[in-house]
Structure 1
Amino acid sequence: MTLPRPGFSAYITIGWPNPGTFEKLVETLSECVDFFEFGVPTPRPIYDGPTIRETHAEALKSVSGWRDALKLLSRLEIGDKRPTIIMAYMSDHLGHLREFHEEAASAGARCILYPDLPFEHPEKLWLYVDESERVGLKPCFFASSRFPHRWLLTYAALRPLFIYLGLQPATGVKLPIAVEKNVRLAKKLVGDVYLLAGFAIRDSETARRLIEVGADAVVVGSAIIRAAKDRGLDEAKRLACSIHQAVHAERA
């Protein structure tokens, strides 16, 4: 169970803006991404930016909960050709964590990424690992650029599917050199563990630079969603394909 190196992932909130268009968007982007990250709609997306928060609110108008979201996800015909990562908030699922992991695995997920795990529920780390492995999922972890090094080393020792490094600037802000240094440092700490960089990536040049300095893959959400919302699915595909090409050209 591995992800391609280098790799490019697109983030989409499940059911945004409605189930039919969501399925069309996934189909449209499929040939331009290496794997998908799908967000389970939640009324409390506290670690997402304004664009993604809006998609959660819109999706919840037609997706009536996490079971409904995973059923929609299971209908997608992307299979092993495009691995699936689920992003969810652990706070939403503590009362039914085992069932949620079981249903996520049945829907085709490779791992469940909980961005609130290290900040709000660090004591649940081993429960998360155990429940993931019990149903055949790999653990995957979120870390910020200012994350304590000891936690990155702990995560790396667990041999996760990936570590997601959340970059500091907001989407649309040009990445400063300090972020490139953070990526280099994180990669040095985690070694051959897959490092996925996200946040603040809006174009092919930024993606190329992050792969160049050590990221194994990048994930783009807000920029693709804005393109789809403002200019249509074909424009979202054009953006995704340009980033995919830049990522793969960097290590060709």
Structure 2
Amino acid sequence: MPSRLRRRFAQSKAERRGVLFGYLPAGYPTPDDFLASAAAAFDAGLDALEVGLPSPVPDLDGPLIKAAIAEGSRHVPTVRDALQLAASARRDDDDSIIALAYGSLFERVSVDDFLQLVKDADVDAVLLPQASVADQLDISRRAARLGIDVVVFLHLEEDLPVLVATSDDPIIYLQSAALRTGGQFNPDKAQERLRELAEAFDGRPYSVCVGFGVRGREDVAALMAGGADGAIIGTRLVAAAGERPADVGAIVDEVAPVLVRRAELGEHPDAP
């Protein structure tokens, strides 16, 4: 049976719309507020929630997310507790949860033990942004035996040939450009990367969502125009969660009207 995440992609393609991923650190700003923010996002139509796990944060992330993960880790210090909290954030059984794990986490737990914790918590997928594509694909084969998806994090350049040659219908997190989370979104660069990805796969199946710097309607509309299957909003959701959980839902509401697959439809009725 397809996973929750793959069912959501199939549903969105049938409905000819893009998917929306959001990101929140586990336990931020408190466990109750985290659950309230996730509930507001899912109620507004979020398709999948990436949950940052407690661990030292690399330079890949900007200062706001670094501070939020540190704050969340004070409340939810263990990987097991963070995964269980993440899974409890679902509003509906089809809501997808993706665990985001940095390389430092694997200094405390082995990959196989981590995957077992993910399965035990009923979390759907993992995202490993510091691992090479080759390592992510190796982990993907191990995860598949447990019914877990690996969302392949792609910097694009040197890793693209490996991904194309050795993967079958991957779900891809495409970094919009070489920047930190929360940086300035460049729609031209993002669309260039989407074109390069499409040319490399040359008609073979894959699903791609784009993150880094994506904040709202204009950015998401540009990605849909460029052929993305979806968009990922992180820093802006984290900032909203730190203020008021309802604000997280309001961002999802704002973006939802532009999640139309313009590359297929040839038009967009509600572009900003």
Instruction: Give the TM-score range, shorter chain.
Output: 0.7 to 0.9
Q: Which has the higher contact order (CA 8 A, sep 6+)?
A: 2
3-state DSSP of counterpart to 2:236? helix
2:150 aligns with one of 139, 147, 152: 139
> Within 1, Cα distance between the matches of 2:23 and 2:158?
22
Which AA in structure 2 matches 1:158?
D
Once the 2 structures are TM-superposed, how far is the Cα of residue 176 of structure 1 from its aligned partner?
4.6
Residue 126 of structure 2 aligns to a residue whose secondary structure is: strand
8 Å CA contact 1:79–1:108 kept in 2: the answer is no
- C-alpha contact 1:7 1:248 (8 A) present in aligned 2: no
Does 1:11 pair with 2:33? no
What corresponds to 1:30 in structure 2? 42
Distance 2:174 2:261 in 1: 22
Judge conservation of contact 2:187–2:219 (CA < 8 Å) in 1. no
Deviations 1:204-229 (A, max 9, x none): 11101101101101110101111332
Structure 2 distance, partners of 1:101, 1:148, is 23
Aligned counterparts of 2:156 and 2:113: Cα–Cα separation in 1: 32
Deviation for aligned residue 1:9: 0.9
Structure 1, unmatched stretches of 5+, are none
TM-score normalised according to structure 2 size: 0.81
Q: Structure 1: which 4+ aligned runs deviate by more than 6 Å? A: none
**Counterpart check, 1:212 vs 2:222:** no
Deviation, 1:105, is 1.8
Structure 2 unaligned spans of 5+: none
Tell me the residue number matched to 1:173.
184
- Tell me which amino acid in the other structure corresponds to 1:113: L
2:127 counterpart of 1:116: no
Contact 1:9–1:219 under 8 Å retained in 2: yes
SS in 2 for 1:38: strand
* Partner SS state of residue 61, structure 1: helix
Report the count of equivalent residues. Answer: 246
Task: Name the structure 2 match of 1:159.
Answer: 169
Give me the whole-angstrom Cα distance separating, in 1, the residues matched to 2:223 and 2:158.
18
State the Cα distance separating 1:67 from its structure 2 match. 1.2
1:39 alignment partner in structure 2: 52
Instruction: Give the C-alpha shift of residue 68 in structure 1.
Output: 1.5
Tell me by how many angstroms 1:125 deviates. 4.3
CA distance in 2, matches of 1:70, 1:125: 20
Offset of 1:132 from its aligned partner?
0.3
CA contact (8 A) 2:86 2:97 kept: no
Amino acid at match of 1:144: H
Q: How far off its partner does 1:233 sit?
A: 2.3
Q: Deviation of residue 135 (structure 1)?
A: 0.9
Structure 1 distance, partners of 2:152, 2:183, is 24
How far does residue 174 in structure 1 lie from its aligned partner after superposition?
4.1
Matches within 5 A, 1:1-252: 1=2, 2=6, 3=9, 4-5=12-13, 6-32=18-44, 33-93=46-106, 95-118=109-132, 122=134, 124-125=135-136, 127-154=138-165, 157-160=167-170, 162-168=171-177, 169-170=179-180, 171-190=182-201, 191-230=204-243, 232-248=244-260, 250=262
Identify if the C-alpha distance between structure 1 residues 127 and 44 changes in structure 2 by more than 3 Å, giving closer, same or farther: same
What TM-score results when the alignment is normalised by the length of structure 1?
0.87
